Amino acid sequence: MTAVTERQQLAYIANQAADMRVNVELETEGMTLNIGPQHPATHGTLRIIVKLDGEQVVAADPVPGYMHRGYEKLAEVRTYPQVTTLVNRIDWLGSFANEVPFILAAERLMEVEAPPRAQWIRTILFELSRIGNIALFLGDMAVQLGAVTPVFYAFRDREYVLNQIEAITGGRFHPNFDRIGGLKDDIPKGWVAETKGVLTKMRAFCDELDELLVGNEIFTARTRGVGVIPPEVGLSYGLSGANLRASGIDWDHRRDSPCGLVYDKLDWKVWTHPDGDSFARYWVRLQETREAILMLEQLLDGIPSGPIMAKVPRIIKVPAGEAYVATENPLGEMGYYVVSKGDLVPFRVKIRSASFNNISIVPWVLRGVYVPDVITILASLYFILGDIDR
Amino acid sequence: MSSTEVTETAPASDERRDALVARLGEELGDALIAGHVDAGRDVWVRVATAAWEDAGRVARDVLGLRYFGFLSAIDWLPSPYGRSLDAAIDLEAEPASGEVEQMEQGVTGGETRFQVFARLHSVTEHIGLTLKVDVPNDTLALATWTRLFGGANWHEREVFEMFGISFEGHPSLRKLYLPGDFEGHPLRKDFPLLSRMVKPWPGIVDVEGMPGVADDEGGE
Amino acid sequence: MITQLAVELAYWQQSILRSVGVIAAVLLPAGTIVYLFLFKMMSFMQSRLGPNEAGPYGSMQLLAEVGKFLQKEDLIPDGADRRVFTWAPIVVVASTFVTYVVVPFGPDAWFAQIPTGIYFALAVSSLSVIGVLMAGWSSANKYSLMGGLRAAGQLIAYELPLVLAALGVVIQAGTMDMQGIVAAQRTGEIFGFGGIGNPFILTQFVGFMIFLIAMQAELTQPPFDMPVAESELVAGYMTEYSGFRFLLFFIGEYATAGAFSAIAATLFLGGWALPGLDLDNNLMNVLGPVVLLVKILLIMFLVMWFRVTYPRFREDQLQIFAWKYLIPLSLVNITATAVLKVVF
């Protein structure tokens, strides 16, 4: 866990300078490589135009928008309860987590608070989404590095989590379960015990990947010191979530502003890593998955009884006002800036999605790396295309 | 709403956020036009157009709001197309009044149709600030924040294509999402959502009863 | 072995009969078994079912895939160099099959007995890099080009440790004849104990490890699969291929793995010989191929095990690994072998 030393940095700079001299002497010509929009590493339709010198990247320019669906515009013609259906599709791997900040923003404007039981179940679903989402990252990162097996484990074990989400909400991917003032339904009978079984499996999954990848020399060689993002740069680009925590910034919405969710009632810790490289990002996410399992165990034991819905009017009109609520989603800070004019529909919804900011750093971080590292860095930043394009 | 409570019993005043606005006022002087504190929860300020970049610099360097959340814009023009909710139940919920809505510029007020707003956050103090600025109606131009925050690059490109607001000094103000030959600025209120115009929306048909309760009572 | 035929046949007629017979009787069933074994094994490791629809236990999967690929359109990109593009897969597959020629399957079951068999095998097997380069260059695709160039760099770098590792065996056996190497292992003794002969994996263990690693790289299997790295270069030099040309690459991949495994089995595991049975026992002509097949499967198991376990190296790390570690180590190995050979 050593940070990149000054000596290493100097050596890197010296290397670059030497390469440049060679290039000047040989007058080599650059090559433009189009990564995407259809490319296995972009898992979606992100396009990155990379200017190469040999295998080294000179400049990278991501071109998002192949999946732009205009949710901000669409939200302006939908009633508040209808918006959750849209935002489900932003980060489609952790859908429930997308609904929560919007609902919380609407609740803040309406001055409504969900009853404790609803808050607990919300938090449970939130963390389950996180595990389901990050589990895929843990496997997918390995696939991007060339190890095929972990992703099969990830798909296998994530299915257990999705089953539990489906058991409550009726939807594996798009629950559309959160309501202003509470939840659509209560949890079914026997669900808590079943989920505990799933948590045991997920813990085994984390241990398996820990042994398979984190302890693997090739994995370490491929990720250590690759794509280092200093904390100041990360902040300036608005990186969030594990990407920022892997740069050593100890900040987590769940701990520091747990509005509407019950994280303050749990015993857990925020993981950080000082290095800021791809390995750190993987490691932090792995630890966060474990921490989520730990949290879920406490949550499952402590579900209070009571109603799951506060009293809200049948037809929801949100009083005029503005609110920004952000939560710590699997991918990072996700927030909704909701402007209401006291109408059935929001006047303006600005969706602040995590991947948009996380990927906007790509031109900065890809400069000077090798082509294989492009893939490593993209994978370690972990984006979901719907979350970039909205 | 008898049984519900106000979220986080709001204190009458919020020293930290008040202090934030006061500090910003000291640094910016007259350029700080308005401030609004939602005690215990959030804070907004509106700064003069000319001082937009300065405001960002002060917020970052003096107030320690180093985390760049987002930058976006808002079109305060009331939609000329109504709410596009044409189902019977919508009309019942709010009958069309017929009078022309006035332009209101949100919690910190404003004079122009477009406002740009940005969210900054302090990762040590855990306090967030929304900065707003009026965009002059005639020029629709604003100073860029890309020199302050790297992340502003993409956000400003998004605002540029969605609202048609240009940012002076932006290194490459191109379209971000939309194809290069796309005309219009989709998030402006006077940009019609054509699919909604062509095909009527079924409206709020999904109002559902509260779980376990008779239909029209709701709640506990 | 086909000497007691009822009709007198010319040499070339015999050769054709031999080839057809070998393909029908040996390669097809062997291919099916190998393919099924590998796929089932990898599926087990990756917690999936593997082939299970085509035939009993999916045993006809290979035929099904061949049938599938033959139906596909044979696409050639507009900008491609057509002649080179069409010949590249054939070069790759041909070089693979020619490698099998010198591998002995029994005392009399062999295609060709060349006094410098191992030399021939290693020389011919590296021809496939030309096919790969041809494919990469002619595809008119940047990904393919990068894949082809990476393949060339990698195959050249790992050719050296591969040959040096084999050299240790040659020194110990005192011959470059593949049959001679098998015989040397069968009749050898370890400190006077000749019960199991002296398979060179025991005395040449370092050589065996180097050979395995270099072989993995020659096969462009993970962790050395940068030339085809599907997450970076889509499929490297194979990106533009479809239909039966892709099938040739696809078969070539497994056939090459088999060829190298056969060489490794012959060099280090004693080849077709079985302890307890004499070398000139006629039974070995039947049993030998089976014994060799089992040994091949054993080595292919290792290859595929590494393949599903490891992430891939980066190009520079790969070169560093070859030039800074493997090659010096194999040189030390040769020196030690030569010294010990003289001493004992």
Q: Is B184 or C198 the better-scoring residue by pLDDT?
A: B184
A143 touches chain C (CB under 8 A): yes
Distance CA A256, CA C202 (A): 61
Q: Which of C39, B79, C152 is nearest to A347 (CA)?
A: B79
The answer to whether residue C332 sits within a structural domain is yes
Interface residue ranges in chain C relative to chain A, Cβ cutoff 8 Å = 45-48, 142-143, 146, 222-223, 225-226, 229-234, 308-317
pLDDT over 50 at C24, yes or no: yes
Cβ atoms of residues B105 and B115 within 8 Å: yes
CA distance C230 to chain A (A): 7
Q: Would you say residue B213 lies in a domain? A: no
For residue C23, pLDDT over 80 is answered with no
Distance from B164 to chain A by nearest Cα, in Å? 15
**Touching status, chains A and C (3+ beta-carbon pairs under 8 Å):** yes
CATH number at residue A330: 1.10.645.10
Whether A38 is in a domain gets the answer: no
State whether residue A319 sits within 8 Å of chain B by CB: no
Residues 6+ apart with CB under 8 A from A92: A173, A174, A384, A386
Alpha-carbon gap, residue A332 to A374, rounded angstroms: 21
Three-class SS of residue A330?
Answer: coil
Q: Whole-number mean pLDDT of chain C?
A: 81
Structural domain that includes position B116: 15-81+107-191
Q: Which residues contact C306 (CB under 8 A, 6 or more apart)?
A: C216, C221, C222, C223
- From chain A, the residues in CB contact with C146 under 8 A are 55, 371
- Alpha-carbon span C90 to C85, nearest angstrom: 10
Tell me how close the Cα of C314 comes to any Cα of chain A, in angstroms.
6
B91 pLDDT higher than 60: no
- Please provide residue B132's backbone torsions phi and psi, each rounded to the nearest 5 degrees: -125, 155
Residue C192 has a pLDDT of 65
**Nearest chain A residue (CA) to B104:** A341
Closest-CA residue to C232 (of A140, A144, A59): A144
Tell me, what's the pLDDT at B1?
34
Q: Which two tokens stand for residue B182?
A: 């796309």
Strand pairing report for B114-122 and B67-75: antiparallel
Q: Is residue B218 part of a domain?
A: no
The count of domains in chain C is 1
Nearest chain C residue to A50, by CA: C142
Q: What's the pLDDT tens digit per position in A40-96?
A: 776 777 888 888 877 788 888 888 888 888 888 888 888 888 888 888 888 888 888
Whether the pLDDT of residue C140 is over 70: the answer is yes
Q: What is the CATH number of the domain that holds B66?
A: 3.30.460.80
Report the share of chain A in percent with pLDDT over 70.
95
Task: Look at phi and psi of residue B207 and say left if phi exceeds 0, alpha if psi is from -120 to 50, else beta.
Answer: beta
The pLDDT assigned to C219 comes to: 82
Selected residue with higher pLDDT from B95 and B2: B95
Interface contacts (A, C; CB < 8 Å): 79
State whether residue A1 is helix, strand or coil.
coil
Does the structure show a pLDDT above 50 at B219? Answer: no
Q: How many CB atoms lie within 10 A of CB C68?
A: 11
A142–C contact, CB cutoff 8 A: yes
CB contact, 8 Å: B64 with chain A? Answer: no
Q: Is the pLDDT of residue A303 over 70?
A: yes
In a domain, B220, yes or no: no
Number of domains in chain A: 1
In this structure, the strands spanning B166-168 and B141-143 are parallel
> Is residue C247 over pLDDT 70?
yes
pLDDT at A308 (0 to 100): 84
Tokens coding C16: 């054709």
The answer to whether residue B122 neighbours chain A at the CB level (below 8 Å) is no
Contacting B residues, span 140-199, partner chain A, CB-CB under 8 Å: 148-151, 153-155, 162, 175-179, 186-187, 191, 193, 196
Closest CB from A39, A145, A148 relative to C308: A148
For residue B90, what pLDDT is reported?
Answer: 53
Write the DSSP symbol of residue A347: S
List the domain range (segments joined by +) for residue A183: 80-358
Q: Does B117 touch chain A (CB under 8 A)?
A: yes
The shortest C-alpha distance from A73 to chain B (Å) reads: 6
B15 touches chain A (CB under 8 A): no
Q: Does A155 touch chain C (CB under 8 A)?
A: no
Q: Cβ–Cβ of A375/C232 closer than 8 Å? A: yes
Whether there are 3 or more C-beta pairs closer than 8 Å between A and B is yes
Work out the pLDDT band at B2, boundaries 50, 70, 90: very low
Q: Which residues of C touch A40 (CB under 8 A)?
A: 230-231, 234
Distance from CA of C79 to the nearest CA of A (A): 17
| Stretch among A160-164, B94-98, B173-177, C39-43 having the lowest mean pLDDT | B94-98
Instruction: Classify residue B139: in a domain, yes or no.
Output: yes
Question: Which chain C residues are within 8 Å of A215, Cβ to Cβ?
Answer: none
Residue B215: the pLDDT is: 47
For chain C, the three-class secondary structure string (H helix, E strand, C coil) is CCCCCCCCCCHHHHHHHHHHHHHHHHHHHHHHHHHHHHHHHHHHHCCCCCCCCCCHHHCCHHHHHHHHHHHCCCCCCCCCCHHHHHHHHHHHHHHHHHHHCCCCCCCCCCCCCCCCHHHHHHHHHCCHHHHHHHHHHHCCCHHHHHHHHHHHHHHHHHHHHHHHHHHHHHHHHCCCCHHHHHHHHHHCCECCECCCCCCHHHHCHHHHHHHHHHHHHHCCCCCCCCCCCCCCCCCHHHCCCCHHHHHHHHHHHHHHHHHHHHHHHHHHCCCCCCCCCCCCCCCHHHHHHHHHHHHHHHHHHHHHHHHHHCCCCCHHHHHHHHHHHHHHHHHHHHHHHHHHHHHC
pLDDT at residue C34, as a whole number: 77
Q: What is the pLDDT of residues B53-74, one digit of tens each?
A: 888 888 888 888 888 888 998 8
Which residues lie below 8 Å from residue C192, measured CB to CB, with a gap of 6+?
none
Task: Tell me whether residue C52 is exposed, middle or buried, using C-beta atoms within 10 angstroms of its C-beta: 0 to 12, 13 to 18, 19 or more.
Answer: middle
Cβ atoms of A157 and C233 closer than 8 Å:
no
Reported ipTM: 0.80
Q: What is the pLDDT of residues A101-153, one digit of tens each?
A: 898 888 888 888 888 888 888 899 899 899 988 988 888 888 888 888 888 88
| C254-265 average pLDDT score | 85
Quote the percentage of chain C above a pLDDT of 70. Answer: 92
Q: Do A370 and C45 touch (CB under 8 A)?
A: no
Name chain A contacts of B176, Cβ cutoff 8 Å: 64-65
- The beta-carbon neighbor of A307 closest among B67, B151, B220 is B220
User: Are the Cβ atoms of C146 and A371 closer than 8 angstroms?
Assistant: yes
Residues of A in contact with B201 (CB under 8 A): 77
Q: Nearest-CA residue of chain B relative to A364?
A: B150
Give the residue, C57 or A377, on which the prediction is more confident.
A377
Structural domain count, chain B: 1
The pLDDT of residue B8: 44
C168 has a pLDDT exceeding 80 = yes
Supply the pTM of this predicted model. Answer: 0.81
Residue B107 in tokens: 């919690």
Higher pLDDT, C337 or C279: C337
In a domain, C20, yes or no: no
B126/A256 CB distance under 8 A: yes
Residue among A45, A87, A83 at smallest CA distance from A62: A45
B73-87: pLDDT as tens digits = 888 887 777 665 655
Residue C303 lies in domain: 74-343
Going by C-alpha positions, the residue among A65, A42, A74, A120 that lies closest to residue A378 is: A42
Position B9 scores a pLDDT of 46
Lowest pLDDT segment from A13-17, A94-98, A162-166: A13-17
CB–CB of A134/A289 below 8 Å? Answer: yes
Instruction: Answer whether A270 touches B (CB < 8 Å).
Output: no
- Give per-residue pLDDT as tens, C71-117: 888 888 888 888 888 888 888 888 888 888 788 877 776 777 788 88
Q: What are phi and psi of B6, to 5 degrees?
A: -75, 135
Residues 77-106 of B with CB under 8 A from A: 79, 83-85, 89-90, 93-94, 104, 106
Q: What is the pLDDT of residue C98?
A: 82
